Amino acid sequence: MTLPWTHVDDHFIDGRWQTSTGDVRHDVIDPATEEVWGSVPEATPDDIDAAVRAADAAFRSGPWAGTAAADRAEILLRAADALEERATELSLTNTRENGSPVAETQGAAANAASIFRYFAGLAQWLQTEDVRPFPRGVGETVVRRDPVGVCVLIAPWNFPINLVAIKLAPALLAGCTVVIKPASPTPLSIRFVVEALATAGAPAGVVNLLTGSAAVGDALVRHPRTAKVAFTGSTPVGRAIAAACGELLRPVTLELGGKSSALVLPDVDLEAMSEVLIRSCLRNTGQTCYISTRILAPAEKYDDVVDMVTATVAAARQGDPLDPESVFGPVATKAQFDIVLAHIEVARAEGARVTTGGRAADVARGYFIEPTVFADVTPDMQIAREEVFGPVVTILRYETLDEAIEIANATDFGLGGLVFSRDADDALAVADRMDTGSVGINFFASNHSAPFGGRHDSGLGVEYGIEGLSAYVTYKSIHRRLTP
């Protein structure tokens, strides 16, 4: 299939594709082949200012400012349909950008569409009249939910569509306008989303897209007309964005790194666990923020857990990400390839035992690392403390449940988690004791209607649900006396 966008010269500003005012470009590299197959421009200060000003004008005086929530919802619904029509091209573009297997990316358009439809269904919440009486009956207050303004949405490279959609859909429904800045390795697939919204009737200036380096993101965060920032990515970058937003008194939502634990109880059903293991602990070649890359196994079942995890991971196919049978692809970039291999070497040096994998794959080209399982891992090892973001899972031993929970909570992060048990009540009790934003019992998945966010170094605020929508509104209280 011929993809519609490879080497492009433009950004989407004020309702149309406009040629960049600069000549600096960034290559798009296929991590499976190391081939340069695309390129995009680096947004200049003039491009950045034009995009933010277009968004600001659309918010303050354009047609978007007077569009009812129900009408904004209709645009989201039409965009969802248009996006699904582009599913195959989007999937192939995404896979060539970051190496995610098509088994993963083939659902990206449908999932983004479902996010658009979910938030479209919340229009009534925005439109419902909210009147609250004074406690002593002297009057009442009308509470308004106003859109916050121009929102800068900065996305990572691991899920470049859906990690934009969970910001974009609530922002647009709330009545905000946006400037999207995708990660440098994945700048092309998001164009399908922008095109779908334009086709659906989003007015000029409502959705803008700029490509480029981290410097573009920093300039957008600090632009005087930016009203809110939403970012998904690494904790160090998130800290820098939070510092800038704090200085500017600008609201920010941050979904950052993780080092989540899968706590295995002694009554675990290992066969059932094996069926969800890779999606729960190594999804997207281990490049997923919430996955539980630390498996905590009881001493009496430790060897059984190690054997099951090793066999399951070793049996999963790694290869060409364009092959629908591939479970593991390459890591997304050469830099990440080097980072993951460095973690593996440190783990070996610290005494962790490789039960499968543990090295770069024996291939002629591409950033492939063999899916790796480490046993005999202790909580003090680097591999048990730091986010690897690659196809590596560790297995730690515990003696008592209290010790297991202590290990699970002894981390700077707090994003995901799992409990594996046959007893639903026991599993829920353990989940309640885990200090993290989300916990799955015998599986993990995001629910569009439930808040998703991290604690501690895993972020600020939440996405999804009414709670995620409320992050894009600012409240106004209008007090009035009751008429006799």
Considering the chain, what percentage of its residues have pLDDT values greater than 90? 96
Same domain, residue pair 294 and 182: no
Q: Give the per-residue pLDDT at 116.
A: 98
Averaged pLDDT score across all residues of the chain: 97
Residue 462: which of 438, 433, 430 has the closest Cα? 438
Q: Give the per-residue pLDDT at 453.
A: 96
Q: Give the per-residue pLDDT at 223.
A: 98
Within a domain: 335: yes
Q: Tell me: the pLDDT tens digits for 92-108?
A: 999 999 999 999 999 99
Q: Give the per-residue pLDDT at 1.
A: 78
Per-residue pLDDT band at 138 (split at 50, 70, 90): confident
Q: Tell me: the pLDDT tens digits for 200-214?
A: 999 999 999 999 999
Same domain, residue pair 166 and 249: yes
Same domain, residue pair 70 and 182: yes
Same domain, residue pair 296 and 425: yes
Same domain, residue pair 245 and 268: no
The CATH number covering residue 106 comes to 3.40.605.10
Residue 377: which of 344, 423, 417 has the closest Cα? 344
Q: Tell me: the pLDDT tens digits for 238-277?
A: 999 999 999 999 999 999 999 999 999 999 999 999 999 9
The CATH number covering residue 268 comes to 3.40.309.10
Cβ-defined contacts of 245-251 (< 8 Å, 24+): 245/221, 248/222, 250/221, 250/226, 251/148, 251/227, 251/471
Q: Residue 480 — left, alpha, or beta (φ > 0 → left; ψ -120 to 50 → alpha)?
A: beta
Interatomic CA distance for residues 181 and 270, integer angstroms: 42
- SS3 of the chain: CCCCCCECCEEEECCEEEECCCCCEEEEEECCCCEEEEEEECCCHHHHHHHHHHHHHHHHCCHHHHCCHHHHHHHHHHHHHHHHHCHHHHHHHHHHHHCCCHHHHCCHHHHHHHHHHHHHCCHHHHHCCCEEECCCCCEEEEEEEEECCEEEEECCCCCCCHHHHHHHHHHHHHCCEEEEECCCCCCCCHHHHHHHHHHHCCCCCCEEECCCCHHHHHHHHHCCCCCEEEEECCHHHHHHHHHHHHHHCCCEEEECCCCCEEEECCCCCHHHHHHHHHHHHCCCCCCCCCCCCEEEEEHHHHHHHHHHHHHHHHHCCECCCCCCCCCECCCCCHHHHHHHHHHHHHHHHCCCEEEECCCECCCCCCCCECCEEEEEECCCCHHHHCCCCCCEEEEEEECCHHHHHHHHHCCCCCCCCEEECCCHHHHHHHHHHCCCCCCEECCCCCCCCCCECCCHHHEECCECHHHHHHCCEEEEEEEEECCC
Within a domain: 484: no
Within a domain: 40: yes
Count of other CB atoms within 10 angstroms of residue 58: 25
Q: Give the per-residue pLDDT at 483.
A: 76
Same domain, residue pair 300 and 438: yes
Task: Give catalytic residues, as residue numbers.
Answer: 255, 289
Domain that holds residue 331: 261-447
Same domain, residue pair 45 and 190: yes
Q: Give the per-residue pLDDT at 482.
A: 84
Per-residue pLDDT band at 63 (split at 50, 70, 90): confident
Within a domain: 4: no
Interatomic CA distance for residues 437 and 417, integer angstroms: 8
Same domain, residue pair 121 and 206: yes
Same domain, residue pair 231 and 291: no
Same domain, residue pair 302 and 443: yes
Within a domain: 452: no
Q: Tell me: the pLDDT tens digits for 391-406?
A: 999 999 999 999 999 9
Same domain, residue pair 74 and 115: yes
Interatomic CA distance for residues 192 and 189, integer angstroms: 6
How many domains in the chain?
2
Exposed e or buried b for every residue in 230-241, given b needs 16+ CB within 10 A?
bbbbebebbebb
Count of other CB atoms within 10 angstroms of residue 131: 10
Q: Give the per-residue pLDDT at 363.
A: 95
pLDDT above 70 for 144: yes
| β-pair type (440-441, 150-154) | unpaired
Q: Give the per-residue pLDDT at 245.
A: 97
Within a domain: 2: no
pLDDT above 70 for 14: yes
Within a domain: 192: yes
Per-residue pLDDT band at 484 (split at 50, 70, 90): low
8 A C-beta contact, residue 375 and residue 352: yes
Same domain, residue pair 267 and 178: no
Q: Tell me: the pLDDT tens digits for 333-383?
A: 999 999 999 999 999 999 999 999 999 999 999 999 999 999 999 999 999
Within a domain: 157: yes
Q: Give the per-residue pLDDT at 273.
A: 98
Q: Give the per-residue pLDDT at 156.
A: 97
